[in-house]
Structure 1
Amino acid sequence: MARSAMAQETICALRREISRIEGSLPERLASPQAGDSVVLRRGISAVREGCSAFLGTGVPKLDCALAGGVPRAALTEIHSLQTRDAGAATGFTLGLLALLRRADGRSRKQFLICWIGLADVFREAGFPYAPGLEKLFGFAAGGLLFVSTAHIADALWVAEEAARQKDFGAVVLEVRGNPARLDLTATRRLHRRAQELGRPVFLIREAAVAEPTAAPLRFTVSAEPAAPRRSLAGLLQDSIGHPAFTVVIGKSRAARPGRFILEWNPHEQSFREIRPAHSGALVPASGNRPHPPAAMGTVVALRPAGKAPAPGGQPPGKERPAHRRPRRAG
């Protein structure tokens, strides 16, 4: 009986540990122990100190589809299907970080971000532009720490170590494609680090294909044409408005799939849902050109001049087929 009880207790402990790593509820809810730093709620670990488990995006429909928002103590994937959409994925991530900083009540200098990326990623997509970070998202250049590595193993090690530090408000890991080292085990380690400290870890994957990971939430982000700017007189034609993104929920344990077109307002530091900017013809009508020809009228058949039709509508004798002529006798 003693061995059976010990084995059952060991199995229950393993189940609780696996549930904490994967971010799902165990089979039986037990009161948290005194040494635990997180508790499970709705399948996502939440920080105890009266902090919400989810980060609201400010878009009611998106928050409803996410069952509350983006998990704050978890690994979140942000994909871009093509390299040209890397800027859109980065901009959407920066928008979430700006919302997180405001929710935490930290100033620009107090909210620190560790941004890790491979050298080929920064060489292909470039580094985030410091003046743009401050103007569009309100981040001071001194509040971001960029780390460039040559190998994915080094980037994963830096991301895990940074996720353990309490000074960072969030950790961002940017990779390209589907590296073999970034497997299910590696993402579980990152997800566990985020749960232990109660800080989000964002994994940006450029030109990547969806594969099994431990992240409970995955977005697929692409660029959307910006709407024209508005003034007191109306829309300013041929102007470029706020950044816009197409956001697709590709994976979520507590949400439904959905597709949203969002616009980031740098003045209000918030997202809002918009309609597609181009719902009609993509190419405008040409200017300074002659009018198109008029529509064609009734089509009639014309016969050559000077020839009368044969009786009964038959062709003349010399135009009849040769095989219909009478054969010669003899």
Structure 2
Amino acid sequence: MRKYISFFVGVSFIFAAFLRADATIEIIKVSGRFAIINKGANQGLKEGQIFFVKREARNGLSDVCKVKVFRTTANRAAVQQVKQTKSPLLQKGDGLYSSREMHSAALQKSQQPRTKRSTAAVAKKTPPPVLTLAFQTNSFQETKTEVKPINQAAVEHLGVEGASQVRRGITFRTYSQNIRKPWLGLQAGLIIPNGDFGAVYSPSLNFGASYMVEAGSGFNLGLELNNTFVSSSLGGGNVVGAASTSSSLLEVQVALQKFFGRMFFIEAGGGIYRPKIRITSADNFVTTYSSTNFGVFGGGGFFIPTSEYAGIMLKGRLHNYFDQNKIQYFGITAGFKFKVH
């Protein structure tokens, strides 16, 4: 049995070497479904040519796939896998054959001289059917051999057309590069008054925008502008004798954020808090009160990236600003941030 196997393998390698002798084109570099080969325009290669890719296996050469030349230089060319598969099939060292070379190799094999052998000798050297089936199975497995795709850095280093077609996902490297650029944020939420402020006003809607840049070491520095339409908790008005009142609170703040990883952050800052009250009397006389005060805040939140260029933000803050009395309230905000190109 071992003698039969050795004979069959030896014949296969001789045939593979014979067919390989005509294969002067081979893959020298692979990047996913793209590859660089060792021949170019000076050797007669042209864009649009189709080649058959074959790979050495234990029982000879196995079929891999077809490739198409899409760019040539003097002594190099770039090829692309024709059939789209889930994983790339090309490997360094694979040989490329034209249809003419494949036909020539098959013709030379058919024209090899045949020697007369006795029926007993032929039967003696013919492998059993089970052994032949095993080798055919191995050939099928070699044909289906796949390689793992290389990383994105290697694709960018390849420097050929078509490399940009490789899909890019949300990676830590691309995320960290993009967060270094300015981000704009649009947000909305509620403020919940506390203490004496809460005795007069009820939870109110808040709207705002932000502009943030990275300051290094996980810190972000930015400017925020928010405006709150404050609702009174006293019904028709919170000033005796007034027919109606309306109040608002403008915040202009500098914020400093510290990220821990990609999502969680804490923040603190301070700025200008400008409350404004508009009172309309029963005889339609309008009086406006406003003041400009300094205040501080602190809090934290989460940022969930939805792509390399955008994400959802959720945060909470405790505010204190210093009027004649210390005014305190809690703010809950949700919003959307996107990168400025």
TM-score between both structures, scaled by the size of structure 1: 0.22
Bigger radius of gyration, 1 or 2?
A: 2
Q: Which structure: greater helix fraction?
A: 1
TM-score between both structures, scaled by the size of structure 2: 0.22
Q: Which structure: greater strand fraction?
A: 2
Which structure would you say has the larger RCO, counting Cα contacts within 8 Å and 6 or more residues apart?
Answer: 1
